[in-house]
Structure 1
Amino acid sequence: MQKDRKLIIYDIVLLVGSLYFALLLRFDFKIPDEYMGFLKLSLIPVIAITLIFNKFFKLYNSIWKYASIEELMSIIYSISLSNVVFVIYSHFVNFRFLENRYYRFPFSVHIIFWILSVITLGGTRFLIRIVDQSKGEKEVRKRCKKLLIIGAGDASSILIKEIKRHNNLNYDIVGLIDDDVSKKGKFISGIEVLGGRDDIVDICKRKEVEEIIIAIPSVDIDAKRNIINICKKTDCKLKTLPGIYEIVDGRVNISKLRDVNIEDLLGREEVKLNNSNINKYIRDKVILVTGGGGSIGSELCRQISKFNPRKLLILDIYENNVYSVQMELNYNHPELNKEVIIASIRDINRMRSIFSQYKPDVVFHAAAHKHVPLMELNPEEAIKNNIIGTYNVLKCCNEFNVKKFVQISTDKAVNPTNIMGATKRFCEIMVQAFDQISSTEYVAVRFGNVLGSNGSVIPLFKKQISHGGPVTVTHPEINRFFMTIPEAAQLVIQAGAIAHGGEIFVLDMGKPVKIVDLARDLITLSGYKPDVDIKIEYTGLRPGEKLYEEPLMNEIALTATEHNKIFVEKSDNVDIKFVEQSIAQFERAVVGSREDIFKLMEEKVPTYRRKKNEEESA
């Protein structure tokens, strides 16, 4: 109400000023006295007429903060009708003035008055909108996160426009970073390029940056890792656009943004596959993936789907995970002929029934218990699933003339110190034994830890960070080899393509990474300071856990393959009778004492050394 009164006062002042200025313009700033007298007589009628029409067109009821073209048209209608009435008043209701003469305003005065009234009354209201918006923008900017974008190319240009279009993102872009010195001081969509990567830390301090987006999808792995390491020195939350090869549709937009993660920091390179070799053994074939609902199994299903198998069989005992994989494949590959099978590899009769019905050409065996401490406490379950279950699948492959069998193994099978690793090593032994007596090509693929897989440290660390810590690490020196889930699955499929039977393929895992460094990086990437906001606690090595994992067996030299990330370990000659006798012994042992299980495992896997003292290292 207070604002409405002020607006009426402003309108009165502006109307008087507009009419007076219209006369000044018409008479070259020398208004005759008689017109000045007529002006005085006309002021009250002009004000009254205009205010009445303003009220009629609700010019005192509008919220001018949101004024638009409709409000502008209301002003024009009101001023126009007011002037029509004023013209009638001026021409037909004359006033006797000096010397019995009649005076009225020239028509040109009415035109000038109309123009000035529209400009002043309309301008006042839109000035209110501008001022209110400016105040609002300042308030919004106070609430917005200050954002620094790294990259001053096409991707960042699109990103800036997207951010400006989506006000709900609450970003205030403070500047751009680019190593091209010729771009420094230039502007993209009104945002200045402030400097190069060496200026990031200083700019973040000066501009009080809260979040950084890396918008250079074409950058190579090493350069991106270097930029992320620089950004880690700030207290900013990091986000990134995926690499060009990750952006399937080639379009850059807000929906592609994601948090910078450990995979970015480790900088694993994109795997280059030989698609022609893979096509030969997957395209138009029936492919069975056991453990298809797990981390590796589900990714194998995703990758295999790209090569148009005749049918994809996804086998798992746990229906919830495999259902999620089914729904995902339904959405991403609606054309894929697939079937989900709920079954246990421990059940030999069920396995025979499945192999008899579907007659798979290729089997990827990813079903296994893999959690080291839990298997150490439940060794009989590790034997039942990892050894006896795998034996059942191997046997079915031989009986039903499967073309190729690919066993998923682990670096924990190398000189194992835990029951899980020992069971996986025995699986490798069985693979090589079956290969010698069967037309099926049996191979094993050995690799290290997979980032983000079920039961791995990354999901655990993320959960601990979300709860405010502490983040628990078993030992300050413990390290592991890591690769990404897609990389592991792609290399497993590639290894299957180059296999002839009997090989143990070893994947290039790169350099080992300290687990405590992973913890610190993840805390930093989550926007916290390690040991300040989130504490790191050491809990001691768990039963069966090594301090260092070994990628090779007895340091035997590996043979290179046609793929630069896949190597072959020297094969062992294993008698199938040894395997069959061992299976019979394992079946008896799982119903006996756990101590007997450990002793039997040491007998069957000569490289297995049970680790009883958690202070021991490998």
Structure 2
Amino acid sequence: MIANKFHLRSFIAFIHDFIAIIVAWWLAYLFRFNFEIPADFQASLKENLIWIVPTQAIIFYSFGLYRGLWRYASLPDLKRILLTVALGAVIVPFVIFMLQLSALVPRAVIFLAPLLLLLIMGGSRILYRSWKERRFYSLRNSERNSVIVLGTGSTAINLVKDLDISPDWRVVGLLGDNPKKLGMRLHGVRVLGMISELPVWVEKLGVGHVIIAMPAASQSERRRALEMCADIGVKALTIPSYADLVSGKMTVSQIHDIGLDDLLGRAPVILDTEGLHDLLAGETILITGAGGSIGSELCRQIMAFNPRQLVLFELNEFVLYTIQEEFLSRFPDISLAFVIGDIKDRARLMQVFDKYQPTVVFHAAAYKHVPLMENENSWQAILNNVMGTYVLARVAIEHAVEKFVLISTDKAVNPTNVMGASKRLAEMVCQALQQSVLRAENKHIASSKTCFVIVRFGNVLGSAGSVIPKFREQIAKGGPITVTHPKISRYFMSIQEAAQLVLQAGSMGGVKGGGEIFVMDMGDPVKIIDLAKDMIRLSGLNEEDIKIVYTGLRPGEKLHEELVTENESALPTQHEKLRITLSYQVDEQWLAALMAWFAEQPALNDEEVRLALAKWVPEYSDKRTDNQSAPEERMEASIMH
């Protein structure tokens, strides 16, 4: 049926052009003789058309003029018509000359007829398409959602162009922050006013959706726009992140609900791709904790640099199975090894390192949940985070691993909890091992040198065990949302940004001999209460629907996190989002004493662990109550560094 319908339309188009040839020649004669054609020329016109019409019809058919649909007529179709008419303008006079009809055909007609034919054939197609589109748009506009776009830059204009053919959205106006653009029409859509006038225009135009198309806007500007939409009861949407647009992963038309990472408003990470290719391309990379939030994202980011082999080391069977299913389908051309093991198990590590011979290790395996590690699990926290790091690092040195990257946390800075203190102790272990490697190298004992790199960053949006999944679950249950303190704040970044900066730090490490601590630019700290309110708004609710309850700080929890200690100075690097700090406070003797202490200990209880941490980590302060008194002045001084 579809084929028959198509053939019928092609036949009608052919008949139209057949008639157009006759009309064009007839009009040419009329114009030539001032609308009074002599009788002998009328007779010659009829005789000539017997030869002219079939000749031009054959040309039209041969050039495929009837393979498309008029409703989609476009510039290529007009070019094809122009070509066929021009060819006919050459062939038809040749036929007239060969048949010796030239005496009866005025020269003006020979030149005028093709022009008229081009006008009739092209014009009728364009008129038909315009008619169909007007009908289509009028019908479609009645079904599409009206939307106002916030933004008047190039991104907003591209969005308007894409949505112009969308079956779901109809842009009724633009709002911007540049008064000079007021009243202008951008791709046919008028700039109605300033963003602050959104409530007025929403009520006037009756729209139910607003698209925020300002990828370069700050976090505060995005939050203000979201709050405005929430206050007037319209659905706020946004475009993909600037990083996704630049990379080509997504287009501006792929609008979506606003997420917390959109509200962060952080600039995209610009990577030193040449340095990362030197570090990763053609190498065997081992990632511990490969099934976790950070570990799995690291694996995804590394794939872009074409490693020779990726070894995913993980203790949890289910998460390793999950990432195996994803990676085998997404990266069939890269050699992958999915290995179950414990970083404290030296024999298993030796087996894996002997088999795969990795040259770079990213150590993401850790116990990181602060309250869980504070009570009942303190000994396991330092066994896994400290002893596990030591065992893994020693095996890496013995196998001549070139780079060992430890993923640390801002909670290791002036720690007030077991988890943070254990991560600080892991940092110190790596720094002490770096000193032993350097000393062995200077004495020509070691055949190769392992470079240790430590990377600190804050909370990652949506990572396992973080506050965001907890808030999302509480909202789904109808509330309340529990926040420990009205002033508590944390640093946040997206998981993609965190993984990219870990890789970047890994490529830069070693310029100072190894053992450097890289501190990420986390931007401004975010108040958890603001985060909770944002999540309520993003869910389409308000604070009357979902209550917020304050529960008090938990044991070991800080009011504010810090990025460097008082004894550390964070220096800039060649990458704007990474700073470096050097704080060698430990050596081989200290490390030997720590390992001897571990060897002598049975399983300690929580209180014994805290007492031991106070000895081994000078910055550790066990404030079991009211630890929010950790001075804000110290945090501000650390940020200034």
CA contact (8 A) 2:216 2:265 kept: no
The residue aligned with 1:22 is none
Q: Distance in 2 between matches of 1:157 and 1:436?
A: 56
The 1:227/1:426 distance shift into structure 2, 3 A limit, reads closer
Q: Distance in 1 between matches of 2:465 and 2:361?
A: 24
> Is it true that 1:495 corresponds to 2:505 in the alignment?
yes
Q: Distance in 2 between matches of 1:512 and 1:137?
A: 44
Cα offset for 1:181?
5.6
1:172-198 deviation digits (Å, cap 9, x = unpaired)? 654333456676556678765432323
Q: Distance in 1 between matches of 2:262 and 2:191?
A: 24
> Is it true that 1:512 corresponds to 2:525 in the alignment?
yes
Identify unmatched segments of 5+ residues in structure 1: 1-129
Identify unmatched segments of 5+ residues in structure 2: 1-134, 438-448, 631-641
Cα offset for 1:267?
1.5
> Is it true that 1:550 corresponds to 2:549 in the alignment?
no
1:310-369 deviation digits (Å, cap 9, x = unpaired)? 111111111332333333334443322222111111211101111111111010100000
With 311-320 and 570-579 compared, the bigger mean Cα shift is at: 570-579
SS of residue matched to 1:232: helix
The residue aligned with 2:450 is 440
The residue aligned with 2:475 is 465
Q: Distance in 2 between matches of 1:372 and 1:180?
A: 46
Spell out the pairing of 1:102-117 with structure 2 (5 A cutoff): none
> Is it true that 1:195 corresponds to 2:190 in the alignment?
no
The residue aligned with 2:345 is 347
Q: Distance in 2 between matches of 1:365 and 1:250?
A: 28
SS of residue matched to 1:567: strand
Q: Among 258, 278, 281, which residue is 1:260 paired with?
A: 258
Cα offset for 1:258?
2.1
> Is it true that 1:357 corresponds to 2:370 in the alignment?
no
Q: Distance in 2 between matches of 1:560 and 1:165?
A: 48
Amino acid at match of 1:444: I
Q: Distance in 1 between matches of 2:174 and 2:478?
A: 32
The residue aligned with 1:313 is 311
CA contact (8 A) 2:418 2:610 kept: yes
Which is higher, the Rg of structure 1 or of structure 2?
1
Q: Among 580, 593, 597, which residue is 2:605 paired with?
A: 593
SS of residue matched to 2:338: strand
Q: Distance in 2 between matches of 1:302 and 1:430?
A: 28
1:152-184 deviation digits (Å, cap 9, x = unpaired)? 6776567567667665x5x56543334566765
The 1:253/1:499 distance shift into structure 2, 3 A limit, reads closer
> Is it true that 1:576 corresponds to 2:588 in the alignment?
yes
Q: Distance in 1 between matches of 2:153 and 2:515?
A: 50
Q: Distance in 2 between matches of 1:264 and 1:164?
A: 24
Q: Distance in 1 between matches of 2:226 and 2:238?
A: 12
The residue aligned with 2:572 is 560
The residue aligned with 1:232 is 227
Amino acid at match of 1:489: A
Q: Distance in 1 between matches of 2:273 and 2:182?
A: 43
Q: Distance in 2 between matches of 1:229 and 1:393?
A: 47
With 390-399 and 607-616 compared, the bigger mean Cα shift is at: 607-616
Amino acid at match of 1:220: A
The 1:253/1:496 distance shift into structure 2, 3 A limit, reads closer
The residue aligned with 2:295 is 297
CA contact (8 A) 1:383 1:586 kept: no
The residue aligned with 2:427 is 428
The residue aligned with 1:220 is 216
CA contact (8 A) 1:237 1:526 kept: no
The 1:554/1:156 distance shift into structure 2, 3 A limit, reads closer
The 1:590/1:475 distance shift into structure 2, 3 A limit, reads farther
Amino acid at match of 2:430: V
1:255-296 deviation digits (Å, cap 9, x = unpaired)? x22222222222211111111122212111111111111111
Cα offset for 1:617?
2.9
CA contact (8 A) 1:398 1:440 kept: yes
> Is it true that 1:541 corresponds to 2:553 in the alignment?
yes
CA contact (8 A) 1:384 1:590 kept: no
Normalising by structure 1, we get a TM-score of: 0.71
Spell out the pairing of 1:52-451 with structure 2 (5 A cutoff): 147-151=147-151, 169=168, 173-179=171-177, 184=182, 192-216=190-214, 219-222=215-218, 225-235=220-230, 236-247=234-245, 248-249=247-248, 252=251, 254=253, 256-377=254-375, 378-438=377-437, 439-451=449-461
The 1:179/1:296 distance shift into structure 2, 3 A limit, reads same
Q: Distance in 2 between matches of 1:156 and 1:513?
A: 28
CA contact (8 A) 1:422 1:605 kept: yes
With 502-511 and 351-360 compared, the bigger mean Cα shift is at: 502-511
The 1:580/1:258 distance shift into structure 2, 3 A limit, reads farther
CA contact (8 A) 2:229 2:236 kept: no
Cα offset for 1:588?
4.7
Amino acid at match of 1:429: M
CA contact (8 A) 1:383 1:590 kept: no
Amino acid at match of 2:322: S
1:520-569 deviation digits (Å, cap 9, x = unpaired)? 1222232222x322211111111110111111111532222222222222
Q: Distance in 2 between matches of 1:474 and 1:573?
A: 34
CA contact (8 A) 1:201 1:230 kept: no
Cα offset for 1:382?
0.5
Amino acid at match of 1:382: A
Q: Distance in 2 between matches of 1:603 and 1:581?
A: 12
CA contact (8 A) 2:559 2:627 kept: no
SS of residue matched to 2:229: coil
The 1:375/1:604 distance shift into structure 2, 3 A limit, reads same
1:237-260 deviation digits (Å, cap 9, x = unpaired)? 321111343034366365x22222
Q: Distance in 1 between matches of 2:176 and 2:629?
A: 46
Q: Distance in 2 between matches of 1:444 and 1:483?
A: 18
Q: Distance in 1 between matches of 2:240 and 2:180?
A: 26
Cα offset for 1:416?
0.8
Normalising by structure 2, we get a TM-score of: 0.69
SS of residue matched to 1:220: coil
Q: Distance in 2 between matches of 1:499 and 1:298?
A: 22
